[in-house]
Amino acid sequence: MRFSLSSWDVKKVVEELSFLPGTHISQIYYNEHSLRIRLSALTERLPEMLKSGGEGRYSRFDMIFKLPGALFILPQGVAPPSPPPTSFAMAFRKHLSGSAVEGIEQVGGDRIMRLRLRRGEEEAELIVEMFSKGNIIMVKGGEIALLLRREEFASRKLQPSLPYTPPPSTLPLCVLEVEGVGEEVGEKVRRSGRRAIAAALVKELSLPPPIAREVLHRAGIGERTPAEEAWERWDRIVETLEELLEELKSGGCYVYWLEDEVLTSPVELRHLTREGERHPTYLKALLSIYSSLVGEEERKGDVTEGVAEEDQNRLERRLKMQREALERLEEEMKRCRELAECIYRHYGELQGIVEIYDSSGGDPKALIGLEERGVKEVDTKKKVALVEVDDQLLGRVELELPLDRGVNGAAQLYYERAKTARRKIEGLRKAMEETERLIRKGAVEEKRPEARWKPGRRFWFDPYRWFITSRGRIAVAGRDAKSNERVVKRYLKDGDIYLHADVQGASSVVLKMEGGEVDEKELEEAAQFAVINSKAWRAAHAFGRAFWVLPHQVSKTPPSGEFLPRGSFMIRGKKNFVDHLPLRCAAGPVEVEGERRFMCGPESALRAHAPWFIVLEPGETPRREVLSALERLSGLPRELIEQQLPPGDFKIVEVHGGEGVRAAFRRLLEGDSEES
């Protein structure tokens, strides 16, 4: 079931999180598109619902972003146990653990939250974008230092070392103020032409779609009415927005459980057929949603064969609710059509009321007191009259008569409501088919175990051997002569570092510096990587030697009369040697911008990025046994693992991880292979 916050929701949540300044980040986790920030604070400063997370003076609580668009604030202990730290989480911990929260704000009225942080003299910002695929960005010194995914749009670019730029705002209602919603914006809506008025309001006013539909519902305008026609009632739209913004100030949160979606709103959504649950605060509403929805899904873990009895009952309850909703919608659609036809049967009576209104110069007060014509009520602000007629088919019924739209417009209003109900019925029937299928199948969810790898985004370095340094930079190495040539020609740029083992028959390594300064530890890691990917590994040497140079020293032009084979390069000028590099590597799973990969490189790099890893040297343990154990434990495909490991058989020197990891490699660690 889908759930995400709208820009109006984000505004209210930020207001309720005004107690955050003064709290401290104690831990950060990231797993499966979920960022969990554990915060601690003086118990007395927290809302009552968060005080159960600690004893004595301090309490802890979790702030969980479920990308792309959900957020939950939970007392410690409500969420499932924390997952093992990923490389992405470790990088954020390095910069942000222990930081004090100085402020929280909504960026540009959009679905973006910004946490302003301080640790000692260092200031940082943690920005979470809660739209599209979602993104997590850390800004230091005015530049992006870490982010979940690199993205490029027409108006902005999200990459390390660049300033953070939010999406362009489409004010005026991004800041939820009516000032400026006047002729200029109305003209933009009018120029939307035949586009549906609901879509035009979403685009021009940045209104969340449910709020746009609510505005039109209360204004008595069909959401599919062309914008150029609805523009004639622009003043009424603005009045309705003002009403909603007044309701917005009252606080509270409405939760609507639809067939395939959970909606939250700071105002009542009267256009929905289902009644909403009202909570006094957003934080309590989010806790309720988590307990009913997300928490249940996370507690399930992997799906096993068959289905628990309570899950089967839950599906049957869902189907019953869907059938009841279907009956209500079918009745509503039928009733709206009947009322539209009724209007035409009483066209003359209703037209007489409209003519009285028109002759008064458009003053709805002129209809007050016309009970003999069936006028029961007049909403002078909305300019809608409630008229009772005695129909030969339906009996006595009450009809809404929007005075500005006339009799034909009143009938059209009911036909549009019937169409809206019909679209909901179509969606509901599809949801019912899915529920019935799940009941027949006997499974609540259909998903592969989380441990298995799913191909996702492809990175530029995937075809090569690569690793991420302990400082977060990428180093790539060719796998053969052809890819050696490609690595240097395509990816060695000014400011990067070229490395090579001091032996014949080794990979060219490019350390991408991304405009940063050379770090001695990173150079040593990249040099060890060069030695690992050389013939020194197959020769089982204990130590190796490598050198590094700058890009302008690397040339494909040989001395006169000589020939350079494919994949080889001339080095001109001084070589900078790194000696006494151990012939050992570490290997384990990592996350790169939210995608799972397998990495092999120096131990210090794996220690910084991998939740677990093993340390290898050339040895006699059969390669296939090591590969099988890594495949079982990581859930990654064998070919992905094998292309990163150096050639030959191995000796497992150390295992770093939990007891389950150590147990998986214990037999191989002790030298008890299947072939011994």
What residue type is 368 in one-letter code? I
Amino acid 667: pLDDT: 66
- For residues 554-565, give the mean pLDDT: 77
Judge contact between 79 and 37, C-beta under 8 A. no
DSSP states along 133-183 = T-EEEEEETTEEEEES--EE-SS-EE-TTSPP-PPPP--SGGGT--TT-SH
C-alpha R_g of the chain: 32
- Count the Cβ atoms, other than its own, within 10 Å of residue 343: 26
Q: Which of 61, 23, 68 is nearest to 41 (CA)?
A: 23
pLDDT at 250 over 60: yes
Distance of CA 345 to the CA centre of its chain: 52
Q: Are 262 and 270 in contact (CB under 8 A)?
A: no
More confident site: 8 or 300: 8
Name the CA dihedral angle for 566, 567, 570, 573, rounded to a multiple of 10 degrees: 180
pLDDT of res. 76: 76
Mean pLDDT value across residues 440-453: 45
Residue 304 has pLDDT above 80, yes or no: no
The region that residue 543 occupies, defined by phi over 0 for left and psi between -120 and 50 for alpha, beta otherwise, is beta
- What pLDDT does residue 306 have? 34
- The residue among 181, 148, 180 whose CA lies nearest residue 28 is 148
Bridge-based pairing state of the strands 261-265 and 2-3: parallel
Q: How many beta carbons lie within 10 A of that of residue 625, not counting itself?
A: 17
pLDDT tens track for 152-209? 888 899 999 999 999 886 544 433 344 445 566 677 777 888 888 888 888 877 889 9
Q: Mean pLDDT, to the nearest integer, of 6-31?
A: 91
- Region 576-587 average pLDDT: 92
Q: Please check the confidence at residue 602 and state whether its pLDDT lies above 70.
A: yes
Residue in the structure block whose two tokens are 């100030």: 249
pLDDT of residue 311: 56
Q: CA–CA separation, 671 vs 662, rounded Å?
A: 14
pTM: 0.49
- Please report which confidence band the pLDDT of residue 299 belongs to, taking 50, 70 and 90 as the band edges: very low
Integer CA distances (angstroms), 437 to 432, 434, 442, 444, in order: 8, 5, 8, 10
- pLDDT tens across 503-523, in order? 888 899 999 987 777 788 889
Structure tokens at 552: 């302008």
More confident call, 301 vs 465:
465
**Average pLDDT of 65-82?**
82
Mean pLDDT of 125-151: 91
Asked if 606 and 598 touch (Cβ cutoff 8 Å), the reply is: no
Least confident range of 81-95, 137-151, 462-476: 81-95
Q: Given this model, what pLDDT does residue 676 score?
A: 35
Q: Is the pLDDT of residue 455 over 70?
A: no
At residue 447, the pLDDT reads: 34
**Where does 440-584 show beta strands of DSSP type E?**
465-468, 474-477, 497-501, 509-511, 543-549, 554-555, 570-571, 576-582
Q: What is the dihedral of CA 147, 151, 153, 155, to 10 degrees?
A: 20
Q: What is the pLDDT of residue 291?
A: 72
More confident position, 52 or 483: 483
Report DSSP state, residue 50: G
- The DSSP-derived string for 68-96 is TTEEEEEETTSSPPPPPPPHHHHHHHHHH
Give me the mean pLDDT over the 555-583 stretch.
84
Question: What is the distance between the alpha carbons of residues 416 and 423, in angstroms, rounded to a whole number?
Answer: 11
**pLDDT (mean) for 217-232:** 86
**H helix or E strand, kind and range, residue 29:** strand 24-31
Per-residue confidence band for 259, with pLDDT thresholds at 50, 70 and 90: confident
Q: Which of 94-103, 241-250, 439-448, 547-556 has the lowest mean pLDDT?
A: 439-448
Instruction: Tell which residue, 189, 203, 185, 199, has the closest CA to residue 231.
Output: 189
Strand-by-strand arrangement of the 384-391 sheet: 375-379, 384-391, 395-402
Q: What is the mean pLDDT of residues 43-54?
A: 75
pLDDT at 132: 86
CB 227 within 8 A of CB 194: yes
Mean pLDDT of 250-258: 86
Mean pLDDT to the nearest integer, 230-239: 83
If one compares 676 and 442, the residue with the highest pLDDT of the two is 442
Q: How far apart are CA 236 and CA 667, in angstroms?
A: 76
Closest Cα to residue 91, out of 608, 593, 473, 591? 608
Segment holding 378, helix H or strand E: strand 375-379
What confidence tens digit (pLDDT) does each residue in 524-540 have? 999 999 999 998 888 87
Q: What's the chain's average pLDDT?
A: 83
